[in-house]
């Protein structure tokens, strides 16, 4: 990663107000299989599955795609991320820090960090700054009111200042890491900068090292080898049984097509309303295909495409096919959530309770569709990572 001296960093910010933003969100697991260390490669993957949908199109409502925050970091612009609580939780993959540094961010501000991720950031020349929850919220509020709000991070004095309000807080940093950041040293650079001191110290030890029988240790026998032009005889090669590596063991799962993970109830409801239900049919049809992609290889079942139910079997069976289809779909999604150990409660009972019985109230079926979309988002996210 690029090494640049830290002094005073004053910049506009990218507000990513996501609590418990884990390293899998920061960089999806499929990128861990890459052997490159190209910063741009990992920078382009930063928050990828939140920035882009399954077709690779930008997700318009994600903060990094909004016009105020879409510009890539440069001097004084978007060099600082203001993140939610417990930033960098989850797995300890260093690739998450590579992605943040590769994108061009120099400072991440949060009220708390996962310890390993915080150390990874420092090793990648990204400064993690811990502030109080009140100051964190003040930063979010100031940036929301004016995206051009600048924050000043004074590394020598260890202060962070909201220039919109003038409020400052002190932050802690390990003195060794502070010295390295201010001098653009990694651990090897630091050792090399002290080369003369190390050599001088070694000189003070040299008289005590026993040589040729001096000191407390017996003398080592000197062995003389007669020079010859003859090539040495090759040693017999050790026979080693070949190791068979299957594609499943050596290659990480990379889906041919990412499944969507950001469907929400509001969009589903309003687009279905203004399209006279067509959008809802499209979404349910896609869900019927996605659950087959996610689960068929494990449970051997296949959910009927929703278009068959809506345009044919539903009216032929006087609506009974609808009830059976939603019951089976909900039950299958719930079973797959349990098989994948995803802690989200959903099943056929939700369909009968919220959609069927709840229809007498009017709005309660929306609860079912909210749970259905949320369950599929989590299943698709797990599939995108693990298969």
Could you give the CA distance from residue 382 to residue 259 in angstroms, rounded to a whole number? 10
Residues 292-300 have a mean pLDDT of 86
Lowest mean pLDDT among 93-97, 110-114, 265-269: 265-269
Does position 139 have pLDDT exceeding 60, yes or no? yes
Asked if 22 and 169 sit in the same domain, the reply is: yes
249 Cβ contact partners less than 8 Å away, ≥ 6 residues apart: none
Count Cβ atoms within 10 A of the Cβ of residue 218 and give its class: 0-12 exposed, 13-18 middle, 19 or more buried: exposed
Judge if 135 and 32 occupy the same domain: yes
Closest CA to 160 of 23, 26, 6: 6
Give the C-alpha separation, 26 to 12, whole Å: 20
| Same domain, residue pair 23 and 160 | yes
Assess whether 152 and 284 both reside in one domain.
no
Matching residue, tokens 């080898």: 225
CA distances (Å), origin 208, targets 201, 214, 243, 356? 13, 9, 49, 88
The answer on pLDDT for 302 being more than 70 is yes
Average pLDDT, the chain: 86
Q: Give domain status of residue 228, yes or no.
A: no
Strand partners, 127: 107
Alpha-carbon distance of 155 to 9, in angstroms, equals 8
From 188, 218, 246, give the residue that closes a domain.
Answer: 188
Indicate whether 104 belongs to any domain: yes
pLDDT for the residue 257? 77
| Bridge partners for 74 per DSSP | 77
* C-alpha distance from residue 72 to each of 44, 77, 145 (Å): 10, 8, 21
- The domain tally of the chain equals 2
Instruction: Please report, in angstroms and rounded to a whole number, the separation of the first and last CA atoms in the chain.
Output: 31
What is the DSSP code (8-state) at residue 73? P
The predicted structure's pLDDT at residue 1 = 55
DSSP 312: I
* Sign of the Cα pseudo-torsion (198, 203, 209, 211, in order): positive
Res 187 pLDDT > 90 = no
Q: Is the pLDDT of residue 369 over 60?
A: yes
How many other C-beta atoms can be found within 10 angstroms of the C-beta atom of residue 228?
Answer: 7
Q: Are residues 183 and 271 in the same domain?
A: no
Residues 160 and 286 in one domain: no
Q: Is residue 3 part of a domain?
A: no
In this structure, the answer to whether residues 269 and 182 fall within a common structural domain is no
CATH number for 82: 3.20.19.10
- What is the enclosing helix (H) or strand (E) of 108? strand 107-110
pLDDT at position 101, please? Answer: 95
Report the share of the chain in percent with pLDDT over 70: 86
| 351-367 average pLDDT score | 81
Q: Report the run of H or E that residue 271 belongs to, with start and end.
A: helix 265-274
Same domain, 32 and 136: yes
- Strand-strand pairing, 107-110 and 80-83: parallel
Distance CA 131, CA 172 (A): 9
Residue 211's pLDDT is: 46
- Which residues does 269 contact at the CB level (< 8 Å), separation at least 6? 366, 369
73: nearest Cα among 96, 99, 49: 99
In eight-state DSSP terms, residue 357 is G
**Which of 364, 366, 287 lies closest to 333 in space, CA to CA?**
287
290 and 156 in one domain? no
* Residue 363 pLDDT grade (very low, low, confident, very high; cuts 50, 70, 90): confident
One domain for residues 174 and 275:
no
In a domain, 211, yes or no: no
SS3 track for 154-214: ECCCCEEEECCCCEEEECCCCHHHHHHHHHCCCHHHHHHHCHHHHHHHHHHHHHHCCCCCC
Q: Which of 188, 215, 230 is the last residue of a domain?
A: 188
- Where does the pLDDT of residue 54 fall: very low under 50, low under 70, confident under 90, or very high at 90 and above? confident
Chain segment 213-267, per-residue pLDDT in tens: 454 555 555 555 565 556 566 656 555 455 454 444 444 555 667 899 888 989 8
The residue with greater pLDDT, 303 or 297, is: 303
Instruction: Specify the pLDDT at position 279.
Output: 92
* Cα–Cα distance measured from residue 98 to residue 42, given in angstroms and rounded to the nearest whole number: 6
Q: In terms of residues, how long is the chain?
A: 387
Q: Is the per-residue pLDDT at 274 higher than 80?
A: yes
Within a domain: 282: yes
Cβ-Cβ contacts under 8 Å for 74 (sequence gap 6 or more): 104
* Phi and psi at residue 86, to the nearest 5°: 55, 50
Comparing CA positions, the residue from 325, 260, 336 lying closest to residue 288 is 325
Range of the domain at 74: 8-188
* pLDDT of 135 higher than 90: yes
The pTM is what? 0.55
Average the pLDDT over 96-109 and give the result. Answer: 96
- In a domain? residue 108: yes
**Looking at residue 250, what is its pLDDT?**
41
Based on the domain organization, do 12 and 155 belong to the same domain?
yes
pLDDT of residue 220: 53
3-state secondary structure of 292: helix
Min mean pLDDT across 71-85, 153-167, 253-267 is at 253-267
Residue 302 and residue 93 in contact, taking contact as beta carbons nearer than 8 Å:
no
21 and 127 inside one domain: yes
Distance CA 64, CA 374 (A): 22
289 within domain boundaries: yes
Task: List the one residue out of 330, 334, 377 whose CA is nearest residue 354.
Answer: 330
Q: Which two tokens stand for residue 214?
A: 């001096």
- Phi then psi for residue 210, to 5 deg, are -70, 135
Q: Please state which of the ranges 86-95, 317-326, 356-365, 378-387 shows the lowest mean pLDDT.
A: 356-365
Which of 159, 188, 217 delimits the end of a domain? 188
Please check whether residue 72 lies inside any domain of the structure: yes
């Amino acid at each position: 990663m690029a090494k640049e001296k830290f002094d005073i960093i004053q910049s506009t910010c990218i507000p990513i107000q996501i609590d418990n933003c884990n390293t899998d969100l920061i960089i999806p697991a499929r990128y861990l299989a890459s052997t490159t260390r190209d910063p741009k490669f990992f920078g382009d993957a930063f928050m990828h599955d939140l920035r882009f949908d399954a077709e690779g199109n930008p997700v318009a409502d994600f903060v990094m795609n909004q016009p105020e925050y879409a510009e890539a970091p440069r001097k004084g612009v978007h060099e600082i991320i203001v993140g939610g609580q417990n930033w960098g939780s989850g797995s300890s993959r260093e690739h998450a820090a590579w992605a943040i540094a590769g994108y061009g961010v120099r400072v991440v501000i949060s009220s708390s960090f996962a310890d390993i991720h915080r150390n990874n950031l420092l090793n990648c020349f990204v400064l993690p700054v811990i502030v109080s929850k009140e100051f964190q919220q003040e930063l979010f509020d100031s940036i929301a009111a004016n995206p051009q709000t600048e924050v000043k991070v004074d590394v020598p004095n260890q202060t962070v200042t909201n220039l919109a309000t003038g409020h400052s807080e002190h932050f802690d940093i390990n003195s060794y890491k502070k010295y390295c950041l201010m001098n653009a040293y990694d651990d090897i650079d630091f050792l090399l900068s002290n080369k003369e001191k190390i050599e001088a110290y070694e000189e003070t030890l040299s008289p005590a090292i026993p040589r040729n029988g001096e000191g407390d240790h017996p003398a080592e026998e000197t062995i003389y080898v007669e020079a010859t032009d003859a090539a040495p005889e090759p040693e017999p090669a050790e026979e080693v049984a070949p190791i068979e590596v299957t594609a499943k063991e050596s290659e990480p799962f990379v889906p041919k097509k990412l499944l969507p993970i950001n469907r929400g109830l509001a969009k589903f409801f309003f687009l279905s309303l203004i399209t006279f239900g067509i959008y809802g049919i499209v979404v349910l049809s896609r869900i019927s295909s996605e659950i087959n992609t996610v689960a068929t290889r494990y449970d051997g079942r296949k959910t009927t495409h929703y278009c068959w139910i809506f345009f044919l079997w539903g009216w032929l069976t006087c609506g009974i096919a609808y009830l059976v289809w939603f019951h089976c779909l909900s039950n299958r999604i719930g079973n797959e959530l349990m098989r994948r150990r995803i802690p989200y409660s959903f099943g056929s009972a939700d369909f009968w309770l919220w959609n069927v019985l709840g229809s007498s109230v009017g709005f309660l079926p929306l609860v079912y569709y909210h749970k259905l979309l949320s369950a599929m988002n989590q299943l698709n996210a797990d599939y995108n990572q693990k298969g």
